[in-house]
Amino acid sequence: MELTEPEYWYWFTNISRVGRRTRNKLLDVFDKPENVYCASDKDLLELPFLSSEQRNNILIRDEKGLRESFGRLRDMGAGFLYPKAFGYPERLLYIPDMPHALYYMGSLHTDTDPRVAIVGSRKCTDYGRSAAYNIAGELSSYGVHIVSGLACGIDGAAHRGCIMANGITHAVLGCGVDVCYPKSNIDLYMTIRNTGCIMSEYPPHTKPNHGFFPERNRIISGLSDIIIIVEAGERSGSLITVDCALEQGKDIYAVPGRITDRLSRGCNTLIKNGAAVYDDVYDVLDALSVDYGGRGMPETDESEHIQNNFLATDEKMVYASLCFEPKHISRIAEETKLPVQDIMHAVLRLEMRHIIKQTANNYYVKT
C-alpha cells in the first residue's frame, strides 16, 4: 500500500543527518517528499550537496517501521503538520526557514485570532514577572492569544497570566511535545495541553538541546502578530526572537526599565533603536485592530459595594490597602501580610475589572 502524503512528510522530516537547509535543497530539486522517497541512488549521486551518509540515510525506506512510528503519534495524542497540510499555521508559511514539521498537543485554535508573543529573561525580577503576568492577562481578556516558550521567568509568567484570565496560550518548545522542560513547569505544561497548544518542530522524545532554543524562537515570533519583550539583558536569548521578528516584519514592543537594572538594558536599548514602548494594553490592541469599546470600568459601582460583594478575600485585602495615591507592591505586602505571588494574582484580577490600575513599575492606585 502506497504511503500517504503525511507519511511521506513524516519520513522526509526525520531522515537522519538531513537538516532543514538540506531538505530545502531537496525540495528545490524534487518538489515534494514523495519524489525524494522514490529517487534512485543514481539521482541522489548527482546532487553535490549530499554527503554519502545522507544519501545512504535517504535510501533507507522501511515502510512498515515508518507506518508504525507514524501511528504512535496518534496513540500518544500528538498531531503532525507540514506546510501543505490543513491546519498548518498560515503565519508560518511566510517566514524564512518555515518549519517542515510541526508536532502539537492540544488544540490549534483559529489561526485568524490575534496573537502576541511575550518573552524575556529566565532569571527575571519580580517586576518583570509581574509585568509579564499582567500584560498577558490584560491582552487575554480581549481575546488575544499569548505565545511564549514555557521557559522559567518571563515565559512562564506570561503563560500563567493568560491562563488566569481564561485565555488561550501557545507554548513552543525546544524539545519534543511530550517532554516538559523545565520540569518545574509541569503544571503549566499540563494546563496548556488541555486548554491551549503545545508545539514543536522536533519529534516526540527529543530531549532539550542548547541549539534548539534559538531555532524555536523564529516559530514563536512567526506565530505572533506582535512581540513584547519584558526583560532582557544585553546578550539575552530573547533578542534572538527580536531578530527573527524583525526579519519577519513584525512589530516589537519593549517594556522600559530602570537604567540601573541589568535586565532592563536589552529593553532600553531596543527602545533607543526604535522599538515601541509598551505603555498600556490599548496601544497593542489598537495595533492589532482589536475593538475594546464598552469594556471599561462599571460606571455605577461604588468602592464599598465592590469590596464587600464582588471580591475574593485576597482581593479585598489588596483593595483595602490601596488609595488614590500610588502604592508599591512591596508596601502592599507589608500591610496585608500576603505573599507577593498572591498579591500579583489579586492585582491582575482587580486590574481586569478596572477598579485599580498600575501607574508605574509595580505601583497601584484605586480608580
The C-alpha atoms of residue 224 and residue 118 are separated, in whole angstroms, by 9
At 16 the pLDDT is 96
Provide the whole-model pTM: 0.81
- Looking only at the bridges linking them, the beta strands covering 197-200 and 102-106 are antiparallel
At 299 the pLDDT is 39
At 301 the pLDDT is 41
Cell of 271: 527602545
Q: For residues 39 and 5, is the Cβ–Cβ distance under 8 A?
A: no
Averaged pLDDT in 10-residue chunks for the chain of 367 residues: 94 97 97 97 96 97 95 96 95 94 94 95 89 93 96 95 94 98 95 96 96 95 97 86 94 92 92 93 94 52 47 84 84 91 87 79 82
At 352 the pLDDT is 73
Does residue 109 come out as left (phi exceeding 0), alpha (psi in the -120 to 50 range) or beta? left
At 298 the pLDDT is 35
